[in-house]
Chain A
Amino acid sequence: MKSISFRRRATDRIMKTLFLLSVFLVILPLFLIFFDLLWKGAKELKWSLLTDLPRPVGEPGGGIANGIAGTLTLAGLAMAGGIPLAVLSGIYLAEYGKGVLASLVRFAVDLLAGVPSIIMGIFGYVLWVLPMKRFSAWAGASALAMIFIPIVVRTTEEMLKTVPVPVREAALALGIERWKTTLFITVRTASAGIITGILLAMARILGETAPLLFTALGNQFWQTGLDQPIAAVPLQVFSYAISPYDDWHDKAWAGAVVLILMVLVLSIGARILTRERS
């Protein structure tokens, strides 16, 4: 038999190289960003960064502990409200969404997902800040929830649609009611994908700055209540970065590292908690 032609082998090589090169180019910026942050933030990456409150300019030390707590509070509130709403809406679209209403909902959710995040900030401002006459954690969390929800609605819907019809039929054939089939069989089957969607959306809102500017506002101190302005790491990074002081610039870099690490730790933690035996 004739061996594989030179042309075919060459094409194969070239294509493989192309694919690898693309992957490399995609991943490269990620590493560049991360190492650049580490390099520039190294000076301020100390334990006190995680445990101390911010200090005034020129005073050494100080941290962003209130920002870390604030970011966790804001994201936690947004997710506590957003997950049930978004997952249940996703279930509606995937399992019952066939008529005009569903198309409208789908369209609205897609629009919502495309709204610039600063607009969500204005939404929070109008909904909470104006009537309450103060910036608050509630306002920040609802702005974040508006970003979180449309992403999770659509990923939940897409993931549920990947559950094969025979799996649903098997459940119905056992005499399991339709709503139980949906909640305990279909959703469970798609749970890994739904959780991935939630984590991606979480990573997105952890780093959002614009919607917090005129909702959560930021705070130099520990928050005293959810109806008060609240600190957040991206806000601190933002205000340190636009300041004219060198030591604050260093803190901005270190804060960015903390933000990336928070996303990483929370994502890995959630994966471990929700892992199922295989």
Chain B
Amino acid sequence: MDNAIEVRNLSSWFGQNQVLKDITMDIRRNSVTSVMGPSGCGKSTFIRCLNRMHDLTPGFRMTGEILFDGRNIITEKIDPVLLRRKVGMVFQQPNPFPRMSVYDNVAVGLRLNGGGKSRGEIADVVEKSLRMAAIWDELKDHLDRAGASLSGGQQQRLCIARALAVEPEVLLMDEPCSALDPVSTAKIEELIEDLGDRYTIVVVTHNMQQAARISDSVAFFLMGVLVEMDKSAKMFTNPSDKRTEEYITGRFG
């Protein structure tokens, strides 16, 4: 199996404060990779490096290599706008565009990104994306409702549909369930498992059970360091590092 993203010696700083220390890891194509660790371990910072979301943060800087499609995306030569069309993102708090309908929320990426799709083609993509996000049946008769009027779980699936509509290769998810109730969480988890066959998914979570349920591989971060990365089955039964074992058995974090 090949890798979608290869991270080599990635370090990053907010001003003087080093947040990531020499991270090296491979993210396999069309699989679900979880990044877990206690609060403040740098896991969110890490996935935001993968689509250059830190570009607008003053004082942020990173070194090393992140290879995507064979190119190092850290260099200035890569256009972050084009990168983000291939590496989509879903956030911790569901954040549908407030003054837009369900339909417009999904369609807006296509409309604003050019590509000259006709109305009909856009409608097809909207339907396909909502279906993939497992929310089409609930919303097909309510496409003109305001996105912000949906329940939290529906909003999050709408945000997933919105991200899928621009046809990314990679989907980054930053604690996508931490603001949701257990039923919505179960639906999103199921969705992640389904999408994992077609997309490269990187999920940040501090919930170990969740990481175990949904992911093929798990990376464990601690204080900016990648402690260990392995198949999730091995990670949770027989971790190689003592710190991982202490974390998953609940002795800290």
Task: Say yes or no for B180: interface residue by CB 8 A criterion.
Answer: no
Task: Say yes or no for A5: interface residue by CB 8 A criterion.
Answer: no
**Within 8 Å CB of B100, what residues of A?**
188
**Within 8 Å CB of B95, what residues of A?**
164, 166-167, 169-170
Q: A180-B112, A277-B101 are in contact. List 12 more A-B contacts (CB 8 A).
A: A164-B95, A169-B95, A170-B162, A171-B97, A173-B51, A174-B113, A175-B81, A175-B86, A175-B166, A188-B97, A189-B99, A276-B99
**Within 8 Å CB of B144, what residues of A?**
277
Across the interface, A166 reaches (CB within 8 A) one of B93, B99, B109, B146, namely B93
Mark each residue of chain B from 101 to 126: 1 if its CB lies under 8 Å from any CB of chain A, else 0: 10000001100110000000000000
In the complex, 30 of the A-B residue pairs with CB atoms within 8 angstroms, ordered by the A residue number, are A167-B95, A167-B97, A167-B98, A169-B89, A169-B95, A170-B96, A170-B159, A172-B53, A173-B53, A173-B88, A173-B89, A173-B91, A173-B163, A174-B85, A174-B109, A174-B112, A175-B82, A175-B83, A175-B84, A175-B86, A176-B112, A184-B112, A185-B97, A185-B108, A188-B99, A188-B100, A189-B97, A189-B99, A276-B99, A278-B146
Across the interface, A175 reaches (CB within 8 A) one of B96, B97, B99, B109, namely B109
Across the interface, B109 reaches (CB within 8 A) one of A164, A176, A191, namely A176
Task: Say yes or no for A59: interface residue by CB 8 A criterion.
Answer: no
Mark each residue of chain A from 239 to 267: 1 if its CB lies under 8 Å from any CB of chain B, else 0: 00000000000000000000000000000
Residue picked from B53, B96, B97, B159, most chain A C-beta under 10 Å: B97
Task: Say yes or no for B149: interface residue by CB 8 A criterion.
Answer: yes
**Within 8 Å CB of B97, what residues of A?**
167, 170-171, 185, 188-189
**Within 8 Å CB of A185, what residues of B?**
97, 108
**Within 8 Å CB of B99, what residues of A?**
188-189, 191-192, 276
Across the interface, A173 reaches (CB within 8 A) one of B84, B96, B101, namely B84
Residue contact B163 to A174, C-beta cutoff 8 Å: yes
Residue contact A170 to B85, C-beta cutoff 8 Å: no
| Nearest neighbor of B90 in chain A, beta-carbon distance | A173
**Within 8 Å CB of A277, what residues of B?**
101, 144, 146
Across the interface, B85 reaches (CB within 8 A) one of A167, A175, A180, A191, namely A175
**Within 8 Å CB of B159, what residues of A?**
170
**Within 8 Å CB of A191, what residues of B?**
99
**Within 8 Å CB of A278, what residues of B?**
146, 149
Residues of chain B at the chain A interface (Cβ within 8 Å):
51, 53, 56, 81-86, 88-89, 91, 93, 95-101, 108-109, 112-113, 144, 146, 149, 159, 162-163, 166
| Nearest neighbor of A177 in chain B, beta-carbon distance | B81
Residue contact B89 to A175, C-beta cutoff 8 Å: no
* Cα(A44)–Cα(B86), bound, Å: 69
Given A164-B95, A185-B108, A174-B53 contact (CB < 8 Å): no
Residue contact B89 to A176, C-beta cutoff 8 Å: no
**Within 8 Å CB of A173, what residues of B?**
51, 53, 84, 88-89, 91, 163
Across the interface, B88 reaches (CB within 8 A) one of A166, A169, A174, A184, namely A174
* Cα(A172)–Cα(B87), bound, Å: 11
| Nearest neighbor of A185 in chain B, beta-carbon distance | B97
Shortest beta-carbon distance from A193 to chain B in Å: 11
Mark each residue of chain A from 147 to 180: 1 if its CB lies under 8 Å from any CB of chain B, else 0: 0000000000000000010110111111111001
* Cα(A185)–Cα(B98), bound, Å: 9
Residue contact B91 to A166, C-beta cutoff 8 Å: yes
Q: Which 10 A-B pairs have the closest CB atoms?
A: A175-B85, A173-B89, A174-B109, A166-B95, A175-B84, A170-B95, A176-B112, A180-B112, A189-B98, A175-B81
* Cα(A188)–Cα(B81), bound, Å: 21
| Nearest neighbor of B58 in chain A, beta-carbon distance | A98
**Within 8 Å CB of B166, what residues of A?**
174-175
* Cα(A8)–Cα(B113), bound, Å: 59
Shortest beta-carbon distance from A147 to chain B in Å: 29
* Cα(A166)–Cα(B144), bound, Å: 22
**Within 8 Å CB of B53, what residues of A?**
169, 172-173
Shortest beta-carbon distance from B52 to chain A in Å: 9
* Cα(A225)–Cα(B56), bound, Å: 50
Residue contact A175 to B113, C-beta cutoff 8 Å: yes
